[in-house]
């Protein structure tokens, strides 16, 4: 893997460069917004990447909470299977189950990917690794969510005439999502409680419930955001969609690299802390006999 990472880093740099060229030069100019719309190639892929990372955090946190309880693991497994079955069959069988314009195939694919990701994470990560994976994806996810919150107002100002619309449910729910995961990181950083990992995992599980609200808000509420043009019955120029998907692929590769390096760093830090704790324990055990001999000699010395 050590040999693969430099190659992947080089390919990611090339892909990011190519994606920027496509976004800024090749992609056609929007007829209504002009060139300012090109922020979409950074804003939207950042949002999708943040959602994916927060979902991985959610999956890792659920696994961490149920790992030590066999009954809980079985219940979680069957819930995931039920979600996959209902998600794959329900949209095609029950009319009106999905918001107007959402394609059943998109819902089925999403449900199937949820199940696949859940079982893959459970298979390849132990309880200790699950906690590190949750922490890593939360940190990198907050970075990409910050990009979303920064690029959004930059895009909104020339298009909407305002930097921020307080009543917009998507803007507000995205800010709440960011605050939840910042709180998660603060809890992980400053709490000394023995139950810190469990509390953080519980917070992550509840925090992830805000992700669907952010995504579906434009279907169920009136917002400043336009109706979806991808997977929602809208339309987008095929050339724009092509560049958008390239940008997302580049962001995903970049996110993977960040998660990999952060995961390895967290792993090294924990190994060092364990080594220091073991050394301190050994030094304490080594000093105990000497202390006892000193006390014995002192008790036997003539008065």
- Give the residue extent of every domain in the chain: 42-83+123-278
Q: Say if CB 180 and CB 203 are below 8 A apart.
A: yes
The pLDDT tens digits of the residues spanning 181-191 come to 999 999 988 87
How many residues can be counted in the chain?
303
- Report, in angstroms and rounded to the nearest whole number, the Rg of the chain calculated over CA atoms: 25
Tell me the torsion sign for CA atoms 190, 195, 200, 203: negative
What is the band of 224 on the pLDDT scale with cuts at 50, 70, 90? low
Q: In whole angstroms, how far apart are CA 185 and each of 191, 236, 271?
A: 10, 37, 20
What's the pTM value of the predicted model, to 2 decimals?
Answer: 0.86
pLDDT score at 303: 43
Report the candidate in 72, 78, 81, 74 with the shortest Cα–Cα distance to residue 115. Answer: 81
pLDDT score, position 265: 92
In this predicted structure, what is the pLDDT of residue 230?
A: 61
Distance between CA atoms of residues 24 and 253, nearest Å: 20
Q: What is the 3-state secondary structure (H, E, C) of the chain?
A: CCCHHHHHHHHHHHHHHHHHHHHHHHCCCECCCEHHHHHHHHHHHHHHHHHHHHHHHHHHHHHHHHCCCHHHHHHHHHHHHHHHHHHHHHHHHCCCCCCCCCCHHHHHHHHHHHHHHHHHHHHHCCHHHHHHHHHHHHHHHHHHHHHHHHHHHHHHHHHHCCCCCCCCHHHHHHHHHHHHHHHHHHHHHHCCCCCHHHHHHHHHHHHCCHHHHHHHHHHHCCCCCCCCCCCCCCCCCHHHHHHHHHHHHHHHHHHHHHHHHHHHHHHHHHHHHHHHHHHHHHHHHHHHHHHHHHHHHHHHCCC
Q: Which of 89, 155, 80, 147 is nearest to 118 (CA)?
A: 80
Q: What percent of the chain has pLDDT over 90?
A: 40
pLDDT tens for residues 93-136? 877 777 666 777 777 888 898 899 999 998 888 888 999 999 99
Tokens describing residue 150: 């920064």
CA distance 265 to 136: 10
């Amino acid at each position: 893997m050590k040999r693969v990472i430099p190659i992947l880093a080089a390919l990611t740099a090339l892909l990011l460069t190519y994606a920027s060229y496509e976004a800024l030069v090749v992609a056609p100019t929007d007829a209504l917004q002009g060139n300012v719309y090109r922020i979409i190639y950074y804003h939207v892929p950042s949002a999708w990447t943040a959602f994916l990372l927060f979902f991985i955090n959610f999956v890792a946190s659920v696994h961490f909470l149920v790992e030590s309880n066999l009954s809980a693991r079985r219940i979680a497994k069957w819930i995931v299977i039920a979600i996959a079955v209902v998600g794959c069959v329900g949209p095609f069988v029950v009319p009106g189950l999905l918001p107007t314009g959402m394609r059943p195939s998109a819902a089925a694919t999403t449900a199937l990917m949820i199940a696949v990701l859940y079982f893959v994470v459970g298979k390849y990560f132990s309880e200790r690794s699950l906690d590190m994976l949750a922490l890593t994806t939360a940190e990198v996810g907050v970075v990409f969510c910050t990009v979303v919150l920064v690029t959004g107002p930059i895009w909104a100002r020339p298009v909407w005439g305002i930097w921020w619309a307080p009543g917009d449910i998507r803007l507000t729910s995205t800010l709440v999502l960011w605050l939840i995961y910042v709180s998660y990181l603060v809890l992980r950083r400053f709490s000394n409680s023995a139950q810190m990992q469990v509390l953080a995992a519980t917070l992550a599980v509840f925090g992830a419930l805000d992700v669907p609200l952010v995504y579906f808000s434009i279907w169920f509420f009136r917002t400043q955001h336009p109706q979806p043009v991808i997977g929602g019955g809208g339309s987008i120029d095929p050339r724009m969609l092509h560049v958008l998907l390239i940008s997302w692929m580049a962001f995903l590769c970049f996110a993977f690299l960040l998660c990999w390096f952060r995961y390895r760093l967290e792993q090294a830090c924990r190994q060092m802390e364990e080594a220091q704790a073991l050394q301190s324990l050994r030094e304490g055990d080594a000093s105990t006999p000497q202390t006892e001999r000193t006390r014995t000699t002192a008790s036997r010395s003539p008065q």
